[in-house]
Amino acid sequence: MQVLEAWRDIQQRKTRFSPALSYLHRLRSYTSQCVLMFADIQSFTALAILISAYVAMGCDIVAYHWQYMIYLAWMASVTHLASLSFLRNHLTNNFVKCIWRLTAMAVIQILLSVAVGLATTFGDNPWYREADQLIGIEVPPAEGGRPATCYFKQGVDVNSITFSSGVKMILLLLWGFSIRIAKMFERFEGGLRKFAYRMHHKSRILRYGVDDGSTTQIWNPRARRKGQGFFGHLLEPFKIAILVVLSIQLNFLTSFLAEVYWLLFTIIYITTRLVKFRIPSPADDNKWTFGQVLPLILLVAPIAIAIESFYTAPKTHTPQMTHTNTQQMNGPGSGLDPVAGLGHVDSLAYRGVFFLAALSYIEVGIYFVLDQPDTEGLALPLLQIALSILLLQPLYQIYWVVCDVFLSKAIWSRPLKLTTYDTLFLGSSAMQVSLNFCALNFGIANSGALQAGTASQKSVALLLFFSCNLVPFCFTYLLLVNLIYHMPRLRATRWRFAILLFFPCYIFLSFFLMSCFFRFLNWRVGVSYFDPYM
């Protein structure tokens, strides 16, 4: 008790004689209050927009304004989600505040999803006059088109661009809200981080031994463990790589960077569509009235309250103890420390997998953000993305970790080893980029020539394209196994120089064979497929 009282006395003296610390604590507290009020205003704004649109669903709201309402309400809800990301720890420590805000956010997401579903009946720009569309001039009438209810009674064309865009929007809404709920509950996020740490810890045991400094179970490519078969020894690097990739992917998924990334891409998606939607707007929508001035005035309220609270606060202030999610998760009784699993961020395996995983996230973001005819559609692009994210991209990441496991045991000179690392990383990155932004940039799947092909031709082309990417993995793995086993015998300089030249030639050969494969496919199937490597 005396030690505890002495510690409290030291903290009080530190606060009393450190005005700078008290100033920073007050600033942080009032900034949180300002952001919280700003988030609440955005939530109420989204609710007001949606409720007003549903109330005026009769003949009072036209199709153009209904679509406009969707973008404005979505922008307000995304701004609210971004504010909650900043206030995650504050709302976790005040669970009552978190509950009613999540409830309001759920109501907004439901109303917004229903509004997007109703908007899929509009077709392509129904507010334009047919005469203007025929001559190529897109000028909406002053009233903004027919009432929205006239389109709600019509059927939905599942092959239209409007339907695919609506499904994209609903997917983004559901994904953003589900991630927000998961982030608010520390058990879910903490459980994923603990599971990722267990996977990382198990991979280190398989690769480096049971404990630090132990050499009893260190994996050695030239010596099998007792009782281990040949194929089991040969496939053990893949087991290590799968555990490492799973650990890194879970850490990346639960990181704040991934959360900000999806918010950023959602904001870009809404902003680009809203700007494009506003360019040919009716003349009456460009006038500043009560509805345009009020939101700007409401933005001043959080700042004014924060400034008033900061300068009218009492002089004596005792800082409150705040606990972050990590502190609560790593309290007494926690078996594993998830933060300790992040000590491998400086390794080459982690950096390579992180970069390759970031490429896959960028691919999905570009699919949702771009608004081009080549990127429209649902079935085939989503199938390509699913195969790429769930199959090919994890294979690229496992391939990189397997190469790192083998090369770390190679008895090579440092320049040769670093050159091999760089070449393999450049090759895997180039192949994944070409896969994402050439093949899955929807040139293969959605080009005009391919649309003329049959469904069987599309399926065969897609499966063959994914299969041809698996050939370099098998070839590289067999090459590394052969080099690691026989490199001690090839100590002459000429062999090292030959191997140094072989890897760039191997990368070029892989691209050349893929290009030849697509040329053969063009000739054999009879459809002019896009060649991503030329």
Q: Could you tell me if 166 and 120 are in contact, meaning their C-beta atoms sit under 8 angstroms apart?
A: yes
Per-residue pLDDT of the chain (534 residues; tens, 9 = 90+): 444 455 555 555 555 545 555 656 666 677 777 777 777 888 888 888 888 888 887 777 888 788 888 888 888 888 877 777 777 766 667 777 777 878 888 888 899 888 888 888 876 655 554 444 444 444 444 455 677 777 777 777 777 777 777 887 888 888 878 877 777 777 777 788 888 888 888 888 887 766 555 545 567 766 666 666 767 777 788 888 888 888 888 888 887 777 788 788 888 888 888 887 777 666 566 667 766 677 777 777 767 766 766 666 554 444 444 444 433 334 333 344 333 334 455 577 777 787 777 777 777 777 776 655 544 556 666 777 777 777 777 887 888 888 788 777 777 677 777 777 777 777 667 666 666 554 444 344 444 444 444 445 555 555 555 555 555 555 555 555 555 555 555 544 455 555 555 555 555 556 555 555 554 554 444 444 334 333
How many Å separate Cα 33 from the centre of its chain? 29
Q: Could you tell me if 417 and 483 are in contact, meaning their C-beta atoms sit under 8 angstroms apart?
A: no
With CA atoms as reference, report the closest residue to 354 among 212, 257, 454.
257
With CA atoms as reference, report the closest residue to 385 among 335, 328, 435, 320.
435
- In 375-453, beta strands by DSSP E: none
Amino acid at 385: I
Q: What is the DSSP letter of 31?
A: H
**DSSP secondary structure string, 466-524?**
HHHTTHHHHHHHHHHHHHHHHGGG--SHHHHHHHHHHHHHHHHHHHHHHHHHHHHHHHH
Check residue 514 and give its pLDDT.
57
CA distance 226 to 351: 33
Neighbours of 229 (CB within 10 A): 10
Among the residues of 254-345, which ranges form H helices? 256-278, 290-298, 300-311, 325-329
Q: Could you tell me if 222 and 485 are in contact, meaning their C-beta atoms sit under 8 angstroms apart?
A: yes
Write out the two tokens for 457: 């031709």
Check residue 531 and give its pLDDT.
40
Write out the two tokens for 22: 């008290």
CA distance 339 to 390: 27
Query: Is 223 in a helix, a strand, or coil?
Result: strand
CA distance 458 to 530: 12
